[in-house]
Amino acid sequence: MTRRSRRRALSLILATSVAWTQVTPAAHAEPRPPQIEAWQQSTSVRLQADGSLSDVLAISPSDVWAVGQQEIWDVWKNRGTIRHWDGARWAEVGIRDNTAAGNLRGLAAASPSDVWAVGDGHDGVPYLAHGDTGGFDRVRPSALHAGDWLGGVDAKAGKIVAVGSRERNGLILTGQGNSWSAQETKEKGALYAVSGGFAVGDTGTEPLIVHYSGGSWKSMPLPSVPGGYLRDVQVDNSKRALAVGGIYRGPGDVSPLALVWNGKRWRELPVPGPETRLYGVTGDGKGRYWMTGYDPARAAEPFMMRCEKGACETIRGGGATGRSSVRLQAVTYLAGKSTVWAVGHAVDTKDRYTDVVESFAPRTTTSKS
- CB atoms under 10 Å from CB of 46, counted, come to 15
Q: How far is 150 from 120, CA to CA, in rounded Å?
A: 7
pTM for this structure?
0.89
Instruction: Write down the pLDDT at residue 73.
Output: 83
Strands 353-362 and 37-43: antiparallel
Spacing of C-alpha 362 from chain mean position = 22
Q: What is the mean pLDDT of residues 263-278?
A: 96
Give the SS3 label for residue 11: helix
220-to-124, 127, 201, 208, 313 alpha-carbon distances in Å: 31, 28, 12, 8, 28
Encoded amino acid at 251, one letter: P
**DSSP character string of 199-255:** EEEE-SSSEEEEEEETTEEEE------TTEEEEEEEEEETTEEEEEEEEEEETTEEE
Closest to 257 in 3D by CA, of 217, 293, 299, 219: 293
Q: What does the alpha-carbon distance between residue 318 and residue 40 come to, in Å, rounded to a whole number?
A: 11
- What domains does the chain contain, in order, with CATH numbers? 40-366 (2.130.10.10)
Supply the mean pLDDT for the chain.
88
Q: Does the structure show a pLDDT above 70 at 2? A: no
Mean pLDDT of 200-221: 96
Q: How far is CA 219 from CA 36, 72, 76, 216, 323, in A?
A: 40, 34, 39, 10, 41
Higher confidence at residue 333 or residue 77?
A: 333
Is-contact 276 15, C-beta < 8 A? no
Please give the Cα distance from 246 to 255 (Å, whole number): 5
The pLDDT tens digits for 301-332 are: 999 999 999 999 998 888 888 999 999 999 99
- 75 CB contacts (<8 Å, ≥6 apart)? none
Encode pLDDT of 38-76 as tens digits: 566 889 999 998 999 999 999 999 999 999 999 988 877
Residue 26, pLDDT > 50, answer: no
What pLDDT score was predicted for residue 317? 87
Which one, of 85, 116, 123, lies nearest residue 101 by Cα?
123
HEC letters along 165-177: EECCEEEEEEEEC
Q: How do residues 109-144 score in pLDDT, each as one tens digit?
A: 999 999 999 999 999 999 999 999 999 999 999 999
Which residues on adjacent β-strands are paired with residue 241?
235, 261
